[in-house]
Amino acid sequence: MSVLQENTLPVRSRTTRPAMRRRFTPTVIVYLALVALLVVGSVLVGLRGEVLLDQGGILNILTRATALGLVAIGQTMVILTGSLDLSVAYLVGLTSLIAAETMAGRNGMVVPGVLLALAVAAGVGLVNGLVITVLKANAFIATLGVALILRGYLEDNYTGPAGDVPRGFQHLGYDRIGPVPVAALLMLAAAALAWWYLSRTRPGYHMYAVGGDIEVARLSGVPTRRVIVTAHVLCSVAAGLTGIYLASRLGSGAPYVGTDAGYDLESIAAVVLGGTLLAGGRGGVVGTIGGVLILATLDTIFDDLEVDPFFKDVVRGVVLVTAVALYARRMVASRARGRLA
Amino acid sequence: MTKRWAPVVVAGVLALAGCSSDLPDDQASAGGSPSSDASKSKFFDQAEYDRQLAFRSATPQGPDGKPWEQMLEPEMVDTAQFAKPGGKYTLCFSNAAVNNPWRQVGFKTMQQEVKLHPEITTFTVLDAEAKDDKQISDIQSLSGKKCSAIIISPNTTATLTPAVEQACQTGVPVIVFDRGVNTSCPVTFIHPIGGFAFGADGAEFLKEKVKPGGKVLALRILPGVDVLEQRWAAANEIFGGSELKVVGVEFTDGDAAKTKSIVADYIQREGRIDGVWMDAGATAVAAAEAFQDAGVDVPAIVGEDQQDFLRLWANENLNAVAPTYPTYQWRTPIIAALKILKGEQVPKEWVLPQPRITGDNVKDYVKQDMPPLHYAMCGCEAMPGYPGPWK
Amino acid sequence: MTWRPRLAEGTAPVLIVLLLLLIGLAIAGPAYAEPSGYLALLKRAAPLMILAIGQYFVIVSGGFDLSVGALVTAGVVIAARLINGSESATARVILLVLGFGLLVGLVNGLVTTKLLVPSFIVTLGMLLVLDGAIFLWTGGAPRGALSAGFRTFGRGAVDVPLLGEVPWSVLILLAILLAAALFMRGGTGRALVAVGDNEAAVRLSGGQVDRLRLLAFVLSGLLAAIAAILLGGFAGVSAQVGDGLEFRAITAVVLGGVVLGGGRGSVVAAAAGALSLESLFTLLNLLGVSGALESAVQGVIIIAAVAYAALGSGVPQRLRWWPKQRDSARPAQPASS
């Protein structure tokens, strides 16, 4: 089996692999790690006489996972196609402002506000995609450049939070069913939609193909440019949804809500932690959600244990590199066996 | 059949699961609308400006030598409803961040203040790492814990208002300090006089020390931060009414290297600079060094109470002033919480004095053994264990 | 090897841009009509240029180093705490900071080559670890102080015959630039570019791919430590001295026409890219462009530069921003395309 073929095949069709190896895909590892983390965390928090997974704890983990999850779903798509997006953090801030300013406290403007924010997000994604495919700038620089332009716009036009979200719309950010926030369910629904799109539709299949090997994809008739542009538009729309969600939670738009949270690098970390190959072509949304949940759970455990915030960064860094090293080892092992077969 | 019943089933499940909202009940927001004047920053508010400038000369109530317990023109409120005699308090604190030296010094001071009071058995802190969204979650989870009182240092004003309202509705006394929120629901809001007074302290100094027509360079950290915008709005107001010539207003991002480059450029471009105004002192040393490296005298300069600047000032005999945004305000929320839990009165708005350091008293604030970025106005020198935790 | 006065591929555009910027500076600011102005500019740009040279080694061999900004902060904070104002500790601590840079580069390189983790992720992890660990160690804010001796390299100047007062940092920069240019002309340097261009071919011809990659990261770490010494010297202790420098260094390298993904570009052009970036900031500042718009201008310019290079060169541009390092890192796979 050659490297080339292996990469063009999407995850789901790797049916020729022995069952053992299929069982331990990165996605499975992520969720096993999540379970292990929850167990260890519960014990550690339990030692302090508290409960990790009580109503508040679950609410906390899911709330934390919502915004990052939405961004990471979009980031998964661009990374799968072999690209990446460094502009999402500023875009989150921008769309939160557009949504909140359009609504301006009026219930009737909720729908226009949401639509306008999404339209602007899609436009930014389109620009990202076109700069990459038509101007042929590589994605790192293209999206970094767009991020800088968005930053300039935000700095020039805003001096802090602006706009006002009507109270009715704030229910999106605050309502919950038992311990599960409604917004987290919507995020999971978005993830399910993305999963369906990536694994059950032709355009989704094309994303894997382009990420696997763009030349092969082009030769086999995949409209590579369109696929990349689509991935970027979808990624930006996901960032737009995040901005809208945060606007509903904050009650107004905030220019730096995305950058303060570091959604650009953190979403990439979550995607990679979830087992998606940074080079593209392999992975998926299910793993990403696992990665996001791991990061959110870590945060919640750290808070319960009152860990020094600087120590958190150290752990995050180590976890990220360790996880990716594990996936890499697995791939090496499976490929070695693949060659023997 | 299945389809028709689906909504009913879903509705039933939702009802069973206890669909609920954490959105606080609607309350009249207390945020006043700032007066707008085309020629002025939208952050300029004449009434608030006048009030803050008047506060500077007002005599505070409270014990001498303990400015963190003093209050300016307090309007006391009754707290009997929160009284919880017997001690064994759990204080909870939602902190915006510890991401800069100012917050570091403040937070350490607060931790030591907690140690002074044996009646506090637990001090729970959640750090929002400068993320609004995380702080909202943090406040939510504190509301679910058994806190005797919740102390909040908001990351931003407007965006944290709903979360603070929500915390208020749990019936636990809420104390807000440093930055405010647009609601009057907290029992007390603790803060030093404010940004207008800070900005004015520096600008008035330059107006006095720099000859008419002199060139002033204004260095700001970054746009869009309300506290810093207020400082600039006040300075801008004073410069506008003076004969000083503001030759530049630049953003430094708080980056010492960038500051030094900008100042060097201005020295070259303008020939000479007669005064430097700053909205925060973090880069004051870099600005002063730019003059030294260019081989000219450091002009009248505005800094802050960080040790590196105070040392340079004392050693080089600079012509300087240091308005402060005192870190001792981190002691006050703990003191206020205990007052409230004992049923004692506290001011609705607890305005702390906001001293400035001048050439006359700078030597009193220089502490040779403290770290360069330590803030002198910590009110921590007499605390047990000083200087250990701050070093 | 006979020396020919030729420019490496893709170097010309950045030199033209740099020339235009310098002319712009001379027109906009009278200080830039004489050599001292340019010396001041070079002094200011030296740390970024040195970082760009380090970043070049990593990028041209097909990687990324996102950890240099955090490493600069770490270097300054470590130096301040250990020197603590004592002149006698200066030399020892400078060696230690350089050693720390080497060590960080070594770890980056080893994890990338031995554990097969993409360098983007390795160095992102390193960024987080350094940022956290350094302030965990100092309790949140920098402590101690730098000695005057330490600061000389970033702040002081030395009398050079014919030239007069030349800042130390400019001399250090020129020495590094010269060494880097010579290195890239030598066998190891060319092998490094070859690794970024076609790793499998280097492997097949017996090249030590992993060792070359490792070398690139070690050099990047070392140069970041030098940049830390210059920046700490120039501006003193601060907690955010390295903030965002990694992206600025990468931007500079790309502005110099070096292709992300490796295999193309010259080290002199990368340094010129850094100087252009610094000149651009200075020019915008002189022209009174508001600080807020500065980043937007920067964004437009880097996109334009990369697009120009990609469209104008006729070189088939890699669409992917990231080389398939881990796939091609497998030995004994024939190069299939």
Q: How far is B257 from chain C (nearest CA, A)?
A: 5
In this complex, the residue of C141, C144, C235 whose CB is nearest that of residue B256 is C235
Q: How far is A317 from chain C (nearest CA, A)?
A: 4
User: B300: helix, coil or strand?
Assistant: strand
CB contact under 8 A, A261 and B131: yes
What pLDDT does residue A338 have? 52
Q: Measured in whole angstroms, how far is the alpha carbon of residue B64 from the centre of its chain?
A: 23
In this complex, the residue of C142, C235, C285 whose CB is nearest that of residue B265 is C285
Sort out which chain A residues have CB atoms less than 8 A from B131's CB and list them. 257, 260-261
CB contact under 8 A, B101 and C141: yes
Would you say C112 and C122 are in contact if contact means Cβ atoms under 8 Å apart?
Answer: yes
pLDDT along chain C (337 residues), means of 10: 50 85 85 79 94 97 95 96 90 97 97 93 95 88 88 89 86 97 94 90 87 96 98 89 91 89 89 93 79 81 83 51 38 31
CB contact under 8 A, B223 and C140: no
| pTM > 0.90: yes or no | no
Amino acid at C182: L
Report if residue C6 sits inside a domain: no
**Distance (Å, rounded) from C-alpha C49 to C-alpha A40?**
46
Mean pLDDT, rounded, for B134-162: 89
| DSSP element (H, E) containing B349 | strand B349-352
Sort out which chain C residues have CB atoms less than 8 A from A318's CB and list them. 125, 129
Report if residue C67 sits inside a domain: yes
Interchain contact C336–B (C-beta under 8 A): no
DSSP annotation string for A104-121: TT-GGGHHHHHHHHHHHH
Q: What is the pLDDT of residues B177-211, one digit of tens each?
A: 998 888 899 999 999 999 999 999 999 999 999 99
Sort out which chain A residues have CB atoms less than 8 A from B18's CB and list them. 177-178
Which of A18-22, B24-28, B212-216, C259-263 has maximum average pLDDT?
B212-216
CB contact under 8 A, B140 and A60: yes
Sort out which chain C residues have CB atoms less than 8 A from B391's CB and list them. 143
DSSP annotation string for C157-180: EEEETTTEEEEHHHHHHHHHHHHH
* Chains B, C: CB pairs < 8 Å: 87
CATH number at residue C121: 1.10.3470
| DSSP element (H, E) containing B89 | strand B89-95
What pLDDT does residue B75 have? 93
Would you say B80 and B185 are in contact if contact means Cβ atoms under 8 Å apart?
Answer: no
Sort out which chain B residues have CB atoms less than 8 A from C236's CB and list them. 256, 285-286, 289, 308
List chain A residues with pLDDT less than 70: 1-23, 335-341
Interchain contact A280–C (C-beta under 8 A): yes
Q: How far is B260 from chain A (nearest CA, A)?
A: 22
| DSSP element (H, E) containing B322 | strand B320-323
Sort out which chain A residues have CB atoms less than 8 A from C133's CB and list them. 310, 313-314
Q: How far is A182 from chain B (nearest CA, A)?
A: 9
User: A55: helix, coil or strand?
Assistant: helix
CB contact under 8 A, B269 and C286: yes
In this prediction, residue B83 has a pLDDT band, given cuts at 50, 70 and 90, of very high
Q: How far is B42 from chain A (nearest CA, A)?
A: 10
Percent helix, strand and coil across chain C, each to the nearest 5: 70, 0, 25
Sort out which chain B residues have CB atoms less than 8 A from C235's CB and list them. 255-257, 259-260, 286, 289
User: B306: helix, coil or strand?
Assistant: strand
Going by the DSSP 8-state scheme, the letter that residue C88 receives in this structure is G
Query: Closest residue of C to B101, CA-based?
Result: C141
Q: How far is B337 from chain C (nearest CA, A)?
A: 26
Instruction: Look up residue B37 and give its two tokens.
Output: 């004047």
More confident residue, B104 or A123: A123
Question: Which ranges of C8-118 would DSSP assign to H, the alpha helix?
Answer: 11-28, 35-60, 68-83, 90-114
Amino acid at B94: S
Q: How far is C87 from chain A (nearest CA, A)?
A: 30
User: C158: helix, coil or strand?
Assistant: strand
* Complex ipTM value: 0.87
Interchain contact C286–B (C-beta under 8 A): yes
Measured over all CA atoms, what is the biggest interatomic distance in chain B, rounded to whole angstroms? 89
Length of chain A measured in residues: 341
Interchain contact A295–C (C-beta under 8 A): no
What pLDDT does residue B41 have? 66
Beta-sheet pairing, B300-302 with B320-323: parallel
Would you say A239 and A71 are in contact if contact means Cβ atoms under 8 Å apart?
Answer: yes
Is it true that the peptide bond before A203 is cis, omega within 30 degrees of 0? no
In this prediction, residue B86 has a pLDDT band, given cuts at 50, 70 and 90, of confident
Scan for tokens 């020939």, then name that residue: B271
Report if residue C3 sits inside a domain: no
Domain with CATH 3.40.50.2300 in chain B: 57-193+326-355, 195-323
CATH superfamily for B195-323 is Response regulator (3.40.50.2300)
- The answer on pLDDT for B361 being more than 60 is yes
Residues A3-340, CATH architecture = Orthogonal Bundle (1.10)
**Distance (Å, rounded) from C-alpha B262 to C-alpha B259?**
5
Beta-sheet pairing, B120-127 with B89-95: parallel
Report the percentage of chain B scoring pLDDT > 90: 62
**Distance (Å, rounded) from C-alpha A216 to C-alpha B25?**
58
Domain definitions of chain A by residue range? 3-340
The residue among B268, B310, B374 with the most chain C CBs within 10 A of its CB, best to mutate, is: B268
Length of chain C measured in residues: 337
Would you say A261 and B131 are in contact if contact means Cβ atoms under 8 Å apart?
Answer: yes
Q: Measured in whole angstroms, how far is the alpha carbon of residue C48 from the centre of its chain?
A: 6
Chain A: partners with 3+ C-beta pairs within 8 Å: B, C
Is it true that the peptide bond before B85 is cis, omega within 30 degrees of 0? no
What pLDDT does residue C334 have? 31
CB contact under 8 A, A60 and B42: no
How many structural domains is chain C composed of?
A: 1
Q: How far is A97 from chain C (nearest CA, A)?
A: 17
Query: Closest residue of A to C308, CA-based?
Result: A135
Sort out which chain C residues have CB atoms less than 8 A from B372's CB and list them. 80, 142-145, 237
What pLDDT does residue B36 have? 37
Fold of B57-193+326-355: Rossmann fold (3.40.50)
**By residue range, what is the domain housing residue C29?**
11-328
Query: Closest residue of C to B260, CA-based?
Result: C235
Query: Closest residue of B to A243, CA-based?
Result: B133
Instruction: Look up residue B301 and give its two tokens.
Output: 């300069």
More confident residue, B143 or B347: B347
Report if residue C334 sits inside a domain: no
| DSSP element (H, E) containing C269 | helix C267-286
- The answer on pLDDT for B253 being more than 60 is yes
For residue A73, which of A331, A293, A248, A249 has the smallest C-alpha distance? A293
CB contact under 8 A, C145 and B269: no
Report if residue C316 sits inside a domain: yes
Amino acid at A93: G
